[in-house]
Chains A and B, each alone.
Chain A
């Protein structure tokens, strides 16, 4: 085992202050054998993302059960950082997640965390590659609560409730909210599958939020006429393709 001179940059994410204390104490104990530096800590996902964009970390210790955004979702958003950190999940008791980690050979730490376990995991993490986003997505039983938008070197989180529609353009997908639009690099088919309960496909290239549908309008010439969807708070009308009209009819009735 070679000792690397450069200190390992570690970041802590946990919503409970005593849990962060505990990790700080333990990391302090590791310090004599493994040079490391605690570059920061956060109590929730958004805070963590903001801080990690400013100061990148090598390893993020990440609690699974947190309000608003759980650790597995945050890990997915962290993969969009220019240099994604290695993630070490921590959990007190979460049978579902533990099974999934075992299945995908992802490292995790059980709380209460033992010094030896933490030390070994940090050593392993130093050489490991970040976990793939696709694997993380498989771990999550529920759809994400946010979409992460990469824009001018920053990452913005858009709550999924705010999204009115998703439309595939040439290379990107347009994410439309009442305020503005964003671009993401994901596949529309995967998004449709993940958010099946929330969005409805009205066209080959377009998913609309079911809850945001205000009404339907008919437009065009006689015979050639087609239906359009009107969404709440949006001027633009979205065309419904012929193939999807039967689905829409079901909704109207």
Chain B
């Protein structure tokens, strides 16, 4: 899969959906049931006939659907290691085999016709199964394509935002301001700046995940630069509870949240303020919370950061679907962003 991607240089993900993701399962259930309902309507003689037809279809269709999902769940890691078209073929063959075996097992229940009608009947169900399967795969492929393109644009925006003039000039001016009096601090600041720009410009795969500890380190380097510039006005409190060292998160997810809090929250306050950063693990979820004070009339934070916000949302959508949440709470004089995403661990791995 990796080889294939690097050869055709696709920026979007040419992979099967993750059959262990709740969002994917829900989408499969919804779409396939809608198709079954459509078939019931096509076969029915009147509206009153539709529920009866639906029940008839469901007796065969539901067992096939559920067993398929179960098999896909089990096979997921293996399917994911195949090329896309091989994987799609495997999924289709599996659906045909399951239809055939469940139909045969059901015996009389599904085949009132008997004789030759039986062969037509089973062939028809296999065909319907393959069509449903094809529609679903096409849907997921299209969805991944659309989201990936948005993501590609978003990444360019992040890049542009990171090297946006304010940030660059602020950094350079800060370094110039301390270079004579505190040459050591100036050195550290330049090193931090280099790390931040390196991270922003890294051309990593969209599915690449970074170690949370590394992201925290990077964010702290960013904050050190801002603290050098703003002095005591910027305070940051970290509360890290029960977060394992091997937790993984998408890169550059945490730092933009803090940057937003500094730029729109703390900077306009003449006395400054304290940003609260809370990282904790809640069962199978990792929760990131960034809370900052802000001027109550400052609506800029809500409109100005739409791009950063949108970018984070899109990435979470593509990677985790409904398994991740992003919430923003705006209160009287405070702003709070909260992200919940599945807890994943590993030295370094791709989420797919």
* A/B interface sample: 5 pairs, CB < 8 A: A15-B233, A16-B177, A21-B177, A92-B169, A93-B166
* Most chain A C-beta atoms within 10 Å of own C-beta, residue among B169, B176, B178, B267: B176
CA distance A19 to B229 in the complex (A): 8
Chain B neighbourhood of A44, CB < 8 A: 270
B270 A68 Cβ-Cβ under 8 A: yes
Residue of A nearest to B166 (CB): A93
> Closest CB-CB distance, A141 to chain B, in whole Å?
14
Considering only residues 1-43 of chain A, those with a C-beta below 8 Å from chain B are: 15-22, 25
Chain A neighbourhood of B172, CB < 8 A: 112
Can you list, as one digit per residue, whether each of B225-243 has a CB less than 8 Å from chain A (1) or not (0)? 0001111010000000000
B178 A67 Cβ-Cβ under 8 A: no
CA distance A74 to B232 in the complex (A): 23
CA distance A134 to B180 in the complex (A): 40
> Could you say which of A18, A20, A67, A92 contacts B267, with CB atoms under 8 Å apart?
A67
Chain B neighbourhood of A20, CB < 8 A: 177
A21 B178 Cβ-Cβ under 8 A: yes
A111 B178 Cβ-Cβ under 8 A: no
Known: A16-B229, A93-B166, A93-B169. A67 touches B176 (CB 8 A): no
Known: A92-B166, A111-B169, A112-B172. A17 touches B177 (CB 8 A): yes
CA distance A44 to B231 in the complex (A): 14
Chain A neighbourhood of B268, CB < 8 A: 67-68
> Closest CB-CB distance, A41 to chain B, in whole Å?
13
Which DSSP category, helix, strand, loop or mixed, fits chain A's interface?
Answer: loop
> Closest CB-CB distance, A88 to chain B, in whole Å?
16
Chain A neighbourhood of B165, CB < 8 A: 92-93
> Closest CB-CB distance, B218 to chain A, in whole Å?
22
B97 sits at the interface (CB 8 A): no
CA distance A111 to B169 in the complex (A): 8
Chain B neighbourhood of A17, CB < 8 A: 177, 231
> Could you say which of A16, A21, A67, A112 contacts B270, with CB atoms under 8 Å apart?
A67
A112 B229 Cβ-Cβ under 8 A: no
> Could you say which of A21, A66, A67, A68 contacts B181, with CB atoms under 8 Å apart?
A21
A22 B176 Cβ-Cβ under 8 A: yes
Residue of B nearest to A111 (CB): B173
> Closest CB-CB distance, B127 to chain A, in whole Å?
63
CA distance A143 to B269 in the complex (A): 18
Considering only residues 38-90 of chain A, those with a C-beta below 8 Å from chain B are: 44, 66-68
> Could you say which of A15, A22, A68 contacts B173, with CB atoms under 8 Å apart?
A22
CA distance A20 to B229 in the complex (A): 11
CA distance A17 to B170 in the complex (A): 12
CA distance A25 to B182 in the complex (A): 13
> Could you say which of A15, A18, A92, A112 contacts B178, with CB atoms under 8 Å apart?
A18
CA distance A67 to B176 in the complex (A): 22
B174 sits at the interface (CB 8 A): yes
Chain B neighbourhood of A112, CB < 8 A: 169, 172-173, 176
CA distance A92 to B170 in the complex (A): 7
CA distance A19 to B231 in the complex (A): 11
A16 B174 Cβ-Cβ under 8 A: yes
Residue of A nearest to B229 (CB): A16
> Closest CB-CB distance, A155 to chain B, in whole Å?
18
Chain A neighbourhood of B177, CB < 8 A: 16-22
CA distance A15 to B176 in the complex (A): 16
Chain A neighbourhood of B228, CB < 8 A: 18
CA distance A68 to B229 in the complex (A): 18
A18 B169 Cβ-Cβ under 8 A: no
> Could you say which of B180, B181, B231, B269 contacts A16, with CB atoms under 8 Å apart?
B231
